[in-house]
Amino acid sequence: MRDDRKNIIVEMTFNFSLEIIDYTEKITKLRKYGMASQLFDSGTSIGANSREAQNAESTRDFTHKFKIAAKEADETQYWLELYHASVHYPDPPDSIFETLESIIKIISKIISSNKNR
């Protein structure tokens, strides 16, 4: 059953998705659709999986959803680093990297905490 109390990871990943949307919109205006689509998909999927975990059928399912979110976060980090290293794309804002690092740490803690139960 869903718990509608304030949830920091759900809020963080939702706001992070909004940052990803803003940045990928900037990229698509440059007519660079391929990588923008990749970043959009992985960056918004972190929040979708975190939210989906709130309706998990079991602790195992909950952990599994966060493992998927962790994989998507790693992929998102890859795309952002690629954008940052490329001279053909505008640099992502520093805030995106900082927020993503915090999200990765929280998700890792959630996964490790649930493994110990």
pLDDT tens-digit readout, 67-91 = 999 999 999 999 999 999 999 999 9
Q: What angle do CA 95, 79, 28 make, to 5 degrees?
A: 85
Question: What confidence category does residue 11 fall into, taking pLDDT thresholds of 50, 70 and 90?
Answer: very high
- Asked if the structure places residue 67 within a domain, the reply is yes
How many folded domains does the chain comprise? 1
Residue 24 lies in a domain: yes
Domain that holds residue 72: 8-115
Place 1 in a pLDDT band, splitting at 50, 70 and 90. Answer: very low
Q: Kindly state whether residue 3 falls inside one of the protein's structural domains.
A: no
CATH number, domain with residue 71: 1.20.1440.60
User: Residue 114: its pLDDT value, please?
Assistant: 86
Residue 2: inside a domain: no
- Residue 7: which residues within 8 A CB-CB, separation 6 or more? 54
Checking if the pLDDT of 3 tops 70, the result is no
Could you tell me if residue 61 is inside a domain? Answer: yes
> What integer pLDDT is reported at residue 96 of this predicted model?
97
φ, ψ at 112 (rounded to 5°): -65, -35
The least confident of 39-43, 51-55, 88-92, 113-117 is 113-117
Residue 1 falls inside a structural domain: no
